[in-house]
Amino acid sequence: MSEQTAALFDEAVIPNYGRYPVCLERGEGSRVWDDQGRAYLDLFPGWGCNLLGHCPPKVVKAVQDQVAKLIHVPNTWYTEAQGRWAKMLSERSFGGKAFFCNSGAEANEAAIKLIRLHTPAERYKIITFQGGFHGRTIGAVTATAQPKYHEGLGPLMAGFTYAPFGDLDAVRELVDDETAGILIEPIQGEGGVRIPPEGFLQGLREIADENGLVLAFDEVQAGCGRTGEWFAYQHASLGDGGVTPDVITLAKSLCGGVAGGALLTTAEIAPSLRPGMHASTFGGNPIAAAAGIATIETIEEENLLGRASQISDAFAARLQPLVDKLPYVEELRACGLMIGLELSVDGSQVVQQCMERGLLINCTQGTVIRLLPAMTLTDAEVQEGCDILVNVIENLEL
């Protein structure tokens, strides 16, 4: 990275992110280049936002065409693209309606409001789960049951209770006359790619139905095709075809790397988010809508849902033997293109060494190597990425 860029950041950018000393300049597919001309294979593109890789041609063309016609209009007006985008999402989920915003945190804020608005006024509590992550705004971070994200922010928003992930008895004990809903990631992403035990999501559906609660799935990371289905709740290994939430929140992959978020809910619940109670100035803007439509069309035209499963299987074939071979590799967890390899040692050294060898990955929770690769990753790139990652892990100096 140039000294000039480093100086600019030191002088003018708030240092609230931990950054690697690399300045990325351009990207294509699963490859990015820095300002020194060095190429990297990116298995964590855009923190999972770039599900189609960097600069997917159809999304780029759709955005270019749109910005030449209309960049932004407020939601006091109609645009054909926003309506068409909502219908496409509805047809691929449970047939409900959409509210559009700009990010996952915004989508979850909308879900929190909707849960409270749809239930009687005396019911305001929402059950969330330890290890979950729902965003950085004050409501979303309160819903996030990880104490490290609460430090220094108190008092937090009232009305959240936390249950252990996978423990139905604990959820039942938390439900009382003031409980309005349940909010959960069907697969915990930032929490370490944690997949719920069999029957857990079905059990939550039953508890919600028995007590008149709204069941909301945070699919900000898992949704939009990443698991090999359009939405994680549709994945056979998670839902067994029998779990449909009342609300889904989406962002990250929703627009192929362009900022965009959404909440989907049933036609019955949707009117509770009535005029004047919630809004988003840029939500569902023409650029995001064009990108969102192009993303869905690309996934279907190129049969990428099926490709996600193929890539996942290829990674599993290379990474699972590490669990059997090395005592400090504890478990491989994967659902489509959400892949987590849990170590018993510090994972940051793996990230650093992979980056030095031209491979970009992520570590979450200190010990879980997290991969969120693009659906467009080639077989050769899977092999290249695995070769580097496996070599680094096998040769760690402990």
Strands 362-364 and 214-218: unpaired
Alpha-carbon 295 to chain mean position: 16
Q: Can you tell me the distance from the alpha carbon of 396 to that of 389, in angstroms, rounded to the nearest whole number?
A: 11
Q: Residues 371-386, buried b or exposed e (16+ Cβ, 10 A)?
A: bbbbbbbeeebbebbb
DSSP letter, residue 197 = P
In which residue are the tokens 């990880």 written?
146
Alpha helices in the chain (DSSP H): 3-12, 57-67, 80-92, 104-118, 138-143, 168-174, 200-211, 236-239, 286-301, 304-325, 348-356, 379-394
- Taking alpha carbons only, the member of 249, 193, 194 closest to residue 223 is 249
CA distance 219 to 217: 6
Using one digit for the tens of pLDDT, what is the confidence trace for 115-135? Answer: 999 999 999 999 999 999 999
Q: 374-396 pLDDT, tens per residue?
A: 999 999 999 999 999 999 999 99
Specify whether the CB–CB gap between 383 and 319 falls below 8 A: no
* C-alpha–C-alpha distance, residues 164 and 219, integer Å: 19
Region of 298 (left: φ > 0; alpha: ψ -120 to 50; beta: rest) is alpha
Select from 362, 313, 310 the least CA-distant residue to 341: 362
Geometric angle at alpha carbon 117, from 112 and 121, rounded to 5°: 115
The reported pLDDT for the residue numbered 236 is 76
Closest by CA position to 370, among listed 392, 334, 328, 339: 339
**Contact criterion met (CB below 8 Å) for 151 and 325:** no
DSSP class of residue 157? Answer: P
Token representation of residue 252: 């990250």
Could you give the CA distance from residue 237 to residue 186 in angstroms, rounded to a whole number? 11
- Measured CA to CA in angstroms, residue 166 lies from 72, 87, 172, 199 at distances of 43, 33, 12, 9
Task: Extract the residue ranges of the chain whose pLDDT is less than 50.
Answer: none
Q: pTM of the predicted model, to two decimals?
A: 0.97
